Chains A and B, each alone.
Chain A
């Protein structure tokens, strides 16, 4: 087999194209959306801050932090109370105490310990008064992606005769239990991801890969559509919580379609 001769010029052009693509991608999918969102936040922050950009003593800052935390706790409880007037089950995520609750009319039905919390940089950097007011809720889920079905229906044809009925009736038909990964998206550029804490998959890799494909596709379509829509920044605030697999399954299946979520930071 003969060697392929590639000229230096070709190599340089090739590398230049790749670098240009990398740079353009960073500008288009990184800097532009982040810059737009930063501009939006700065504008609101300026509006709300009343220009109070003074250096404060440590003790005062600590007290301010306490005021902020207790006021946020109050707002969280008010949201919980507000949701208690609805007839559907809601999800309460208490990041402060690492707990996730299911609540119906104010009654806590289920509680699960969150083993891991991941909050993306945008949400961590956001001024607290904006985060607490705009990204705390009650927020209604607009779209969801999940690795499991909400209603695990198993279709069974009625038996034709008694002998077939005796055969099918002997052992119960149980639904397949896949691994649990869920993504809830909201109208305010925020997503909450609920993942099982178990690293090892209990179900098929196919179901997991299918979820990941939908997951990637969702983020990609958000990135592309924000390029053509100047009203959308394209930056997504992202919270990931990890729960035991069966807890995550119980929570997801208990929630109605388009459920309400409240977050305490």
Chain B
């Protein structure tokens, strides 16, 4: 009496499992089912008011639209900066220095590492390069790096007072720096081997020759797009 019962139970369980599996399968393939079902329907692609027009009127309409398209393209082009501007890709760590019409220089750079430095006691810094449209606020030759607190915490050194001489570091930012505001800069680097990698604390590092050309071409007020 026991044996057939367990056999039946096994069969019923298998059937239920298979049914549930099948329902899940169809549900997961619901997109395919919808695609198959939409084939049964068709929609008239009415030419609307255009249907009543003759070839001459249609040709006129095309040329009128094309004129408007041209005007809109011009309007969009007018939004592009006339003077040289810099575009920085923080994902690929590349830059393009360009004008409206041509690329002046392109190459690799280093941008924010996206490291979140946790010093405990609620003290945290995220080293990322700020995205968006920026302007060059000032240009500096032989820049001096005024080390912020995190630079000492990162090296496990005591944080000195604001104007302490230990805060000032010479030569590490390269020959030039272009300030973007909020402490962010475009500058050179001693770590040329890391160019092309996301290793900075938020600033944009360029190779020596690239930096020289960028410095020469960008003026105060020039636009820098970071994405």
Q: Which residues of B lie under 8 Å from residue A17 when comparing CB positions?
A: 15, 19
Question: Is the CB–CB distance between B131 and A66 below 8 Å?
Answer: no
Q: Which residues of A lie under 8 Å from residue B165 when comparing CB positions?
A: none
B47 interface contact, C-beta 8 A: yes
- Contact partner of A31 (CB less than 8 A), chosen from B37, B68, B89, B126, is B37
Which residues of A, 103-137, contact B by the 8 Å Cβ criterion?
104-110, 120-122, 125-129
Question: Is the CB–CB distance between B197 and A174 below 8 Å?
Answer: yes
Chain B window 53-84, contacts with chain A (Cβ cutoff 8 Å), 1 for yes, 0 for no: 01100110110011011001101100111000
B161 interface contact, C-beta 8 A: no
Chain B count of residues within 8 A CB distance of the other chain: 80
Question: Is the CB–CB distance between A25 and B26 below 8 Å?
Answer: yes
Residue of chain B at shortest CB distance from A158: B119
B133 interface contact, C-beta 8 A: yes
Distance from A19 Cβ to chain B, minimum over Cβ atoms (Å): 10
Q: Given A156-B117, A158-B153, A169-B155, does the pair A238, B31 have CB atoms closer than 8 Å? A: yes
A52 interface contact, C-beta 8 A: yes
B216 interface contact, C-beta 8 A: no
Q: Which residues of A lie under 8 Å from residue B1 when comparing CB positions?
A: none
A108 to B79, CA, bound (A): 10
Question: Is the CB–CB distance between B227 and A50 below 8 Å?
Answer: no
Binds A, one of B38-46, B101-109, B179-187: B38-46
B33 interface contact, C-beta 8 A: yes
Residue of chain A at shortest CB distance from B155: A165
List 13 other contacts, CB 8 Å, given A41-B43, A48-B48: A25-B26, A26-B26, A31-B40, A35-B41, A50-B49, A73-B69, A74-B68, A106-B76, A129-B46, A158-B153, A158-B154, A165-B156, A172-B199
B-contacting residues of A (Cβ < 8 Å)?
A: 4, 6, 10, 14, 17-18, 21-22, 25-26, 29-31, 33-35, 37-38, 41-42, 45, 48-50, 52-54, 56, 59-61, 63-64, 66-68, 70-71, 73-74, 77-78, 80-81, 84, 87, 89, 102, 104-110, 120-122, 125-129, 151-162, 164-165, 169, 172-175, 216, 219-220, 223-224, 234-236, 238, 246, 249-250, 253-254
23 of the cross-chain contacts (CB-CB < 8 Å) are: A10-B11, A21-B23, A21-B26, A25-B23, A26-B26, A48-B46, A50-B49, A52-B46, A60-B54, A70-B62, A70-B65, A78-B72, A105-B79, A109-B89, A125-B38, A127-B44, A154-B115, A158-B118, A174-B197, A219-B30, A235-B34, A254-B90, A254-B91
